[in-house]
Amino acid sequence: MAINWFPGHMRTARKKAEETLGNVDVVIEVLDARCPAASVNPMIEEMRLERDRPALKIINKIDMADDAITQAWLAHFNALPNTKAIAISCKKVGDSSKVLPAARTLAPHRDGPLKRLRVMMMGIPNVGKSTLINALMNSRTAPVGDEPAVTKLVSRYNLPDGTWLFDTPGLMWPKIELESDGMLLAACNLIGTNSYINEEVATYLADVLLANTPDALAKRFGFDVSEMDGPAVIEAIAIKRGFKAKGGAIDYEKASVALLNDFRSGILGRMSLETPQSRAALVEEMLLARAEEADEAESRSV
């Protein structure tokens, strides 16, 4: 199932962000530590590169991700040109203090009251941008909610140190190229719930967890997962929890929601759903598939 979500207000927000981008020094993009590459918005990358703006990648929610894998992602992003990456949990006291010093290293010419630093906070929905802004402001200024697309307007904040911070709504892009990216975003609650089917996303998530952290599933739900695949996990959860639909049939939907909620809340433990290596393999597979399609199209046209 291909997942895409690009509601109308995001088109307006993209246009406004493009206009504002010309007046900022650094683009701060907030990512989700559980799926850092999947939560990179290629549309944001395109906009900032057109303006030749450096990027500060904030890998947020590290308290929910595998630490070793987060370190690997830091190395990956820090190796990119004109890019710096740091890892934080914006809910942890003091972590937000790392953000502005890191941004200043990307705009050293902005070093005083007459040359105040100007940054734009960007990212897909629900990655924690508003929570981070409130931490930087030391107040509850930006609207926060545990659902995608709470912020809908571009706002400017004057931070205590004089920095101008432009906050943008969570921005998706019109078409998610990798089907697995849509699944990862949905599993992490980073995309609108009307764009996916819980059972399909939970089944995909179960397969990923079986491949990477099967013991966590077994411990949480109390059954042997050694011979299971994703659909079997969902069925086993339903049976274990006694989830029944009308007529006594297994309630796969309720079991799917249970797995998704346990993952999203961190009950299953600190988990990362992708690594730089797994990402590189997916991209290579996609490029090979495109090359084969192009060859086939060319052969048919001859």
Least confident of 9-18, 185-194, 292-301: 292-301
- Structural domain boundaries of the chain? 10-167, 179-288
**Where do runs of H (alpha helix) occur along the chain?**
8-21, 42-50, 67-78, 99-105, 129-137, 179-187, 198-212, 214-221, 230-241, 252-265, 276-301
C-alpha span between 82 and 7 (Å, rounded): 31
pLDDT band at residue 12 under the 50/70/90 scheme: confident
What pTM was computed for the model? 0.91
151 vs 133, higher pLDDT: 133
CA 150 to chain centre: 15
Of 74, 64, 84, 77, the C-alpha closest to 273 is 64
10-167 CATH:
3.40.50.300
Q: How many helices (H) and strands (E) does the chain have?
A: 11, 6
List, for residues 225-271, the tens digit of each pLDDT value: 999 999 999 999 999 999 998 889 999 999 999 999 999 999 999 99
Topology given in CATH for the domain delimited by 179-288: Conserved Hypothetical Protein Ylqf; Chain: A; domain 2 (1.10.1580)
